[in-house]
Chain A
Amino acid sequence: MKFNQFRYIIDESVGMLRRRMAANLIAVVIMGLSLLILAAFLLVTLNISGVIEKTSKETRVFIYLEDGTGEEVSREIYSRGMGIEEVEEVVFISRDEALANFRQALGEESDLLDALEGNPLPDAYRLKLKPGYIRSKVMERIAAQAAEWPGVEEVRYGRKWFERGEKLVRGFYIVDLALGLIVFLSVIFVISNTVRLTILNRRRAIDIMKLVGATNAYIQVPFIIEGALQGMVSSLLAGVLLFTLFQVAGRYIPGLVFIRTDAVSGFVVFCAALGALGSFSAMRRHLKL
């Protein structure tokens, strides 16, 4: 008896998917497109925050030494720099090195430097902060501290630029989070509504099944399987569409990264669970099963 029931439930599920192919396809397309919007949003956020992170990682604090600072004082500055908790690395850049770098940066215009008498650039130390400490407050404190050291002429870290950037990034994340929330809620709404309509469309059939004495499991399992499959297929559809868009966009914008594979699989599993849960709760609420 048990085995037959089980087999019939599987039969029902397969039969339902076969019979309702057209309706399922429409639902999958609707859900797939809304998921695409969500996924595209996540991808854009991912790439922008990647750029932000990369840029902020490249931020350094420069300590310029007074002209004619002796080696002992210079070494003292190095060890003081290393002594700061947030500092990961201290690199000495000699004035000659700095000039060479400058020349290289100027490229074709480098002959401008030939007009100079000698090297106007000072020796310097470049401080790299540990990740997570790259904040204007930390840098300001370090800069103020280092400015007091003997032999230090000036400390720079692109303060204005950095503070503005920091504000911009904060603003971006707030707007992004708000938009993300709206997009997420809309997608959940679209999906749950699609599932609800699917179930309401089948109300008559469900009532008939109840009438002939079908158990809740017999009625519900096919719908739950259908919901899970809809979620899975539509998220895969969204993934494929997004990847296509990503490839096209990659031709114009270099350095784009795609969502990690494990995150993609997580997304698919999440959508499948959402579809199954949606079917289940829609039946609970609207059909009093």
Chain B
Amino acid sequence: MTPDKRIIAAVYHLSKDLGKHFKLQDINLQIANGEFVFLVGPSGAGKSTLLRMMYMDDYPASGQVVVGKFVSTRMRRKTIPNLRRKIGIIFQDFRLLEDRTVFENIALAMKVTGTGMGEIKRQMTEILTRVGLYHKRYDYPPALSGGEQQRVAIARAIANRPAVLLADEPTGNLDPAATKNILELLFKINAGGTAVLMATHDIDLVKSFGQRIIYLEEGRIVRDKEMIYVGDIRDRIDQSKVSRRAEMLSDHEITDGGKE
């Protein structure tokens, strides 16, 4: 099986009431291995809730979520840690342990899987270099800038080489320079083969990148826009489709998103 064709994460007919004015309704989406997808919508649209269901911190009332081999309807509480080790998650507020160094924060993700200390140290050099924080490995998060803290969070998220990275407004607390930096880092990680699903309210920020964008409004997917451009190495669609879709600028309801 070529990894490009595999669906790494999918949501089928997901619905859930979340209070009076807030519900997710019949959400369907599929993310292929190595794909980069933006999930865009105003705050309150249900982006965070949808992501939470993908790392199974919450469950749909109906429908199901599939991430790798984990299926929400068959999920047992005990196996949740196994799922979390296979995916990376980052947030607007970084969620770092402030009383531990950068190194310890990142190492935690590997320690919980039982990775030996020697192995952790060996991989750490590479990970820290990738996020550009090798020189700050013994600093504590409060001493770092927002952008740096988010890079620590990203390093922790990718420490176990996840197949998919979920990012919930990762640039929400950052200035434009740091935002650009974080986005570049996410693209770099994606280029390494990790699928990325990034939720943001900022359409302007992401529309220029030419990645697939899923629009979520009031708990519904209103558009799943797939912009295909020449040279996309992870283009899963044959060239005839590409040109046809490029012509239409392919705004379409999600029916075949992520499928061959």
Contact = CB atoms under 8 A, between A and B. Distances in A.
Contact of A210 (B82, B84, B97, B115): B84
Contact of B81 (A205, A208, A214): A214
Contacts of A207: 95
B114 A4 contact: yes
Given A4-B116, A214-B81, A208 B97 contact: yes
A2 B111 CA distance: 11
Interface in A193-210: 204-205, 207-210
A161 B18 CA distance: 74
Contact of B83 (A2, A213, A218): A213
A211 interface: yes
A215 B78 CA distance: 8
Contacts of B160: 213
B112 interface: yes
Contacts of A205: 97
Interface in A88-103: none
B89 interface: yes
A70 B156 CA distance: 103
Nearest to A205: B97
Contacts of B84: 210-213
B6 interface: no
Nearest to A1: B114
A263 to B, nearest CB: 39
A188 to B, nearest CB: 29
The A interface is mostly helix, strand or loop, or mixed, namely helix
Nearest to A288: B77
Interface residues of B, number: 24
Contacts of A213: 80-85, 109, 112-113, 160
Contact of B112 (A2, A19, A204, A209): A209
A208 B152 CA distance: 13
Interface in B93-119: 95-97, 99, 108-109, 111-117
B114 A5 contact: yes
Interface in A101-133: none
A211 B97 contact: no
B114 A212 contact: no
B138 to A, nearest CB: 15
A243 interface: no
A212 B117 CA distance: 17
A19 B109 CA distance: 19
Best-surrounded residue of B83, B109, B111, B156 (most CB of chain A within 10 A): B111
Contacts of B81: 210, 213-216
Contact of B89 (A1, A211, A215): A211
Given A205-B97, A207-B95, A208-B97, A214 B116 contact: no
Interface string A208-233: 11111111101000000000000000
Given A19-B99, A212-B84, A218 B115 contact: no
A212 B156 contact: yes
Interface in A177-204: 204
A184 B187 CA distance: 60
A149 interface: no
A172 interface: no
Nearest to B85: A213
Interface string A1-33: 110110010000000000100000000000000
B95 A214 contact: no
B109 A212 contact: yes
B181 to A, nearest CB: 23
Best-surrounded residue of A1, A4, A210, A213 (most CB of chain B within 10 A): A213
B107 to A, nearest CB: 9
Nearest to A214: B112
A-B pairs, 6 with minimum CB distance? A213-B84, A213-B85, A1-B114, A214-B112, A212-B109, A213-B81
Given A8-B111, A8-B114, A214-B112, 4 more contacts: A207-B95, A210-B80, A213-B83, A216-B78
Interface of B: 55, 78, 80-85, 89, 95-97, 99, 108-109, 111-117, 156, 160
11 contacts: A4-B116, A19-B99, A204-B95, A205-B97, A208-B96, A209-B112, A212-B108, A213-B160, A214-B81, A215-B112, A216-B81
